[in-house]
Chains A and B, each alone.
Chain A
C-alpha cells in the first residue's frame, strides 16, 4: 500500500501538469528553521530560510563553517526534517511525509553525494552503484546500469575494486555513479571535492557540469571554494542560518 502511494506520488511529481508550471520550480522552501537541542543549549542552525530552486538549476551554496549550509542541504535532501517551515518537491509537501515515503523519494527522485563518500565498505564499486537500482530492477539490469555509469564517470575497469582499494577521487566518482543509478531529478552534493586534490576536484566538477548541462539534472552543491562556484548558474550564501 505504501509502495503504491509512493508510486502515485512519483507519477504526480513527473506528470504533465507539473511540466506546465510556469517557472518549473522543482524545490520550494518556505521559511524553514532548524534548531538542534544539545541539552541545555539550543543551537539555531537555520533561521527562517526560504528559496525556490528551478528544474535544471546548478545551484551552489556557499558560506563559512557553521553557517548552516550542510544543515540546509540535509533538509532539501530529505535526510533530516526542519524544526518548522515547509519544503515542497514539485509542489508536493514533503516535510509531513512518513519516513517510508521519504525513503522512496530518496531512492528514486533524489541523489545524494556525501563529502566522505559514504560507500558500503564490503561492496565493490559495481555493487555499491547497483544497490539502489536493485530496489526497482533485476540484478542483471542493475549491473548493466551500474557498469554504464561507472564508465561514464571514468571508472571503467575498477568495477570489482572495493572502496578501500580506490583513491579518494575514485570513491567520490563511485558515490556520484551511485547517486545517478536511479536517474534522479535532483543531485545533492555536500562539499564533494573537500577531500580531493585540485585536479581530481576539477574532474568531479566537470562531471557535475555535464550531468547538469547535458542530462538535465538539477544540481545543488555546497562548496567552500569560490573557484568552484563558476560551474553554477546560481549561487546563494548562507550566514548565521540565513540566506544573504
Chain B
C-alpha cells in the first residue's frame, strides 16, 4: 500500500506541515511585542516606582526625584467626569439594544455604536474642544471628561448589551409570568443578574479611557501643579508620559516608564478579571 503514495502526496503533506509551522510562528511573533513592552516598562520604570512616585508632586526641571501624585489624582478625576457623562448613556442605550434585539432603530444605533468605536480619539478631542473649550474660553478638566465620556460609550454600551443578552430568556419569562411589569423585570431581575459582567466591562472601558492621551492634549491640557478644579486644566498620567518621554532628562524618562507600567498593570489586571467573570457567565449559560 505504501508504494501507492505518489510523490505529490509527500509534497502536499510537507506543504501542509510547513504552513502549519508558519501559522504557529506568526502567533509567536505576534505576542513578542507584548512581552517586550512589559519587560521594558518594568525594567526601565522600576527605578522610579517607589512610594514617592505615588504621593509626591513633580519636581521642577533639572531636579531629580518627585512623583506624579497630581497626575494620578487628575486621571482619577478625568475618569470620574467621563463616567458621569458616558455611563448613563451607555447603560440605558445598552438596555435599549438588549430589549429591542431585532428592532430597526436598535440596529441603526448598534451600527452607529460600532462606527463610533472606530472614530479616532483625537477627533473626539477636537469635538470636545469645539463644544466645551471654545465656549468656556479656556482648557479644563471638564472638556477632557467629556472627551473620555464619548470615548467610553461604544465599549460600555456593547458590553452592557452583551451581558444582558447572556441572561437566559427563561429568567425574564419567569418574572413576567409572576405578573411583574416589564421594566421592573429588567431593572430588578435581569440587570442584577448581569451586573457582575457589566461592572467589569465598564471598568475595562474606564481603564482604556485612562490610557487615552490624544483627546486630552487640547482639552484637559496638563498641569504641573496640584489642581482638582474641574473648570481648570488638569494633569493626567498619559499626558505626563508624553511630556516626560520627549524630555532630555533620564530621570523624567524613567518616570515616564514607571507611569506606563502603572497604566498597563491596571489594564492587564482588569482584563484578567473581565475574562474570569465572563467565563463564569458563559459557563452558566452554556445549555
Does A associate with B in a complex? no
